[in-house]
């Protein structure tokens, strides 16, 4: 059996390693919430993680929220749906792709077109049902930050002031980075989402102390001191 790589990174927020990315489990007063389902082979790993946390905190899984339609975040959903029989939510713009009612759109450039072929050839069994998260009420905020995909979202947990930024950013050594360009459906819209996030912080709509991406080990703690500065540096490097 594969070793379960599960850790509580922030109080009440757990991440589980699933291949080249992470899924997240939030422990909220009314139950557990899962962000993403990983690759198909990762479904069992996520199920084990949920069961372990459920046993420790004596709470049931309430729902799954999907950050975006890429298979490394969605292919394991059908196993999780079968195991727990809980609702799965995603942004309306990504729901048809997750259900494979439409094909995954390409990323930017030649490599982006190759990437979409990879998505089409990857093992994928769609979940039975995906509900629209746009107007749904959760014990956290679901923020639409498109660009990586049309329906890409991040989660903001007010209790811990934590942004689970999904694939909006990766975090290197003392620097924020964008995902590789060919993974992005639109780099210009992706950068617009970063500017949107910057305005939300500047105007006090979001107070962010922790930032955790879905790829890479990096995370920012006490980020309220410098996260805005790092976003500005990233936008400057991109010439936007």
214, part of any domain: yes
Quickly tell me which residue has 């609702």 as its tokens: 87
Provide the domain count of the chain. Answer: 1
Q: Is 46 among the domain residues?
A: yes
| Average pLDDT score over the chain | 90
Contact 40, 83 (CB under 8 A): no
26-69 confidence digits (pLDDT tens): 999 999 999 999 998 889 999 999 999 999 999 999 999 999 99
Cα 1 from Cα 28, distance rounded (Å): 29
Position 109 scores a pLDDT of 62
Residue 193 placed within a domain: yes
Q: Which string of DSSP letters, residue by residue, matches 14-34?
A: EEEEETTEEEEEEEETTEEEE
Domain hosting 214: range is 6-237
Q: First-to-last CA distance in the chain?
A: 47
Is 164 inside a domain boundary?
yes
Per-residue pLDDT in tens (0 to 9) along the chain, 240 residues: 567 899 999 999 999 999 889 999 999 999 999 999 999 888 999 999 999 999 999 999 999 999 999 999 999 999 999 999 999 999 999 999 999 999 888 766 656 567 666 666 667 899 999 999 998 899 999 999 999 999 999 999 999 999 999 999 998 777 888 888 778 889 999 999 999 999 999 999 999 999 999 998 788 888 877 888 889 988 998 875
Give this prediction's pTM.
0.93
Looking at residue 149, which CATH number applies to its domain?
A: 3.60.15.10
């Amino acid at each position: 059996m594969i070793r379960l790589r599960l850790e509580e990174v922030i109080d009440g927020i757990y991440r589980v390693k699933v291949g080249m990315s992470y899924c997240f489990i939030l422990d909220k007063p009314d139950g557990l919430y899962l962000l993403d389902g990983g690759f198909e082979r990762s479904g069992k790993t996520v199920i084990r993680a949920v069961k372990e946390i459920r046993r420790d905190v004596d709470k049931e899984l309430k729902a799954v929220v999907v950050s975006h339609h890429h298979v490394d975040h969605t292919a394991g959903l059908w196993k999780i749906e079968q195991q727990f029989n809980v609702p799965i939510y995603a942004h309306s713009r990504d729901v048809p792709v997750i259900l494979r009612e439409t094909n995954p759109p390409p990323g930017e450039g030649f490599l982006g077109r190759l990437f979409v072929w990879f998505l089409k050839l990857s093992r994928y069994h769609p979940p039975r049902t995906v509900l629209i998260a746009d107007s749904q009420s959760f014990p956290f905020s679901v923020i639409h930050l498109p660009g990586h995909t049309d329906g890409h979202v991040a989660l903001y947990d007010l209790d811990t002031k934590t942004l689970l930024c999904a694939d909006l950013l990766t975090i290197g050594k003392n620097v924020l980075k964008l995902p590789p360009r060919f993974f992005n459906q639109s780099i210009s819209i992706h950068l617009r989402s970063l500017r949107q996030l910057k305005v939300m912080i500047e105007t006090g709509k979001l107070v962010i102390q922790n930032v955790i991406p879905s790829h890479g080990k990096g995370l920012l703690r006490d980020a309220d001191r410098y996260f805005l500065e790092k976003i500005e540096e990233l936008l400057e490097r991109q010439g936007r």
